[in-house]
Amino acid sequence: MLSIETARSWYPASDPVHGFDHVLRVYRIAERLAQAEGADLEIVCAAALLHDAGDAGRLSHQHASAEFALQVLLAAGWPDERIAAVQHCIRAHRFRDDSEQPETLEARVLFDADKLDAIGAIGVARAIAYAALDSQPAYAEPSASFLETGQKAPSEPHSSYHEYMFKLRKLSQRLYTPSARRLAAGRHQFMTEFYIQLAAELQGER
C-alpha cells in the first residue's frame, strides 16, 4: 500500500478545493465504499491518493495524474495490469469529461467518492471557497439563459449558486454504487436546503 504520508507530499499544502484535505476525505470515503461494494481495496486506495496529484500544465488533470501514477507505481514495483487498473480509475473520475467512463467497480467507487465530496456540507464549503478564490460571489441570481442552456449573459458572474444549479444538484443522480447513492441522499438534501435558504436571504425573503 502507498502511505498517506508519502501522498501528502504530492499535493499543495494550501488548496481548499483540490488539496490534500480533499484527497484524504476521498480516500476515507472510497475505502468505505470499496469495503461495502466488494471492490479491490489496494487499487481503490492507490487511485484515491493519486487521483488529483498530476500537475495539469500540459494535460487535463486526470491525464496528468494517470501519468504521475504510472511513475509512482512502477517505482513501487506494481505489476502492469494493476497499474493500468489504477490509471483507469483516475482517467475516468471527472464529471465534465465523459470520454472515458468508469468501467470497473474500482473506477466507479473512486468516481462516487470524489463526487460525494462535492455535495453536502463539505460540497457547499468547497463551492464557496472555489468561488472566492476566483473572486466570484457565493450567490448571484442566474440569468434565464444560464438556467436554460448553461450559457451566461455578458458579465454574469459564476457564483457558487451557479455551480450548484449547473453541476452540484445533478451529482447525486450520477453516482454508480448503491452505497454511495445512500450517502448522497442526505448530502443532496442538506445542500439543496442551504442554497434555497441562501437565495431567499439574499433576496430579502427570509
Binding stretches for Fe ion (CB under 5 A): 52, 114
Q: Which residues contact 159 (CB under 8 A, 6 or more apart)?
A: 131, 136, 137, 138, 139, 140, 142
Compare residues 109 and 198 and give the one whose CB is closer to Fe ion: 109
Compare residues 111 and 139 and give the one whose CB is closer to Fe ion: 111
Compare residues 77 and 96 and give the one whose CB is closer to Fe ion: 96
- C-beta of 199: minimal distance to Fe ion in Å? 27
- C-beta of 41: minimal distance to Fe ion in Å? 19
Compare residues 47 and 83 and give the one whose CB is closer to Fe ion: 47
How far from 40 is each of 32, 46, 77, 91, CA to CA, in Å? 12, 10, 18, 17
Compare residues 83 and 89 and give the one whose CB is closer to Fe ion: 89
How far from 201 is each of 9, 135, 139, 162, 206, CA to CA, in Å? 41, 21, 10, 16, 5
Compare residues 72 and 198 and give the one whose CB is closer to Fe ion: 72
First CA to last CA distance, the chain = 51
Q: Which residues contact 166 (CB under 8 A, 6 or more apart)?
A: 146, 150
Answer for the pair 89, 102: CB distance below 8 angstroms, yes or no: yes
CA angle (135, 191, 32) in 5-degree steps: 110
- C-beta of 115: minimal distance to Fe ion in Å? 9
Q: How many CB atoms lie within 10 A of CB 127?
A: 25
- C-beta of 12: minimal distance to Fe ion in Å? 13
